Amino acid sequence: MTISGKEISGYLNSEILEMILINSKISSAFNYDDLAITLSGKSYRHHIPGSSVLLETIDGRMNQQEAVNKIPNVAKFDHETP
């Protein structure tokens, strides 16, 4: 779907919602989950499974920022509250 020049895609299956938002006018994109993003003919992939990725052009260079949406099981711990 395209709204005001911004492409919005979503994929729903039995797992989790996957979403990509692309603004091709300013070469920027946001992605939730593990889908690769194709922007300006180049593919960008996640470095961390299950993360969100923000792509944006700053000073003529494509910058990729990644944030984790879920705490990995290895980082979780049980503790007792006094």
pLDDT digits (tens, 9 = 90+) for 8-35: 666 555 566 677 778 877 788 888 777 7
Report which secondary-structure segment, H or E, holds 53: strand 51-58
pLDDT the model gives residue 49: 79
For residue 69, the model assigns a pLDDT of 64
Could you give the percent of the chain with pLDDT greater than 70? 62
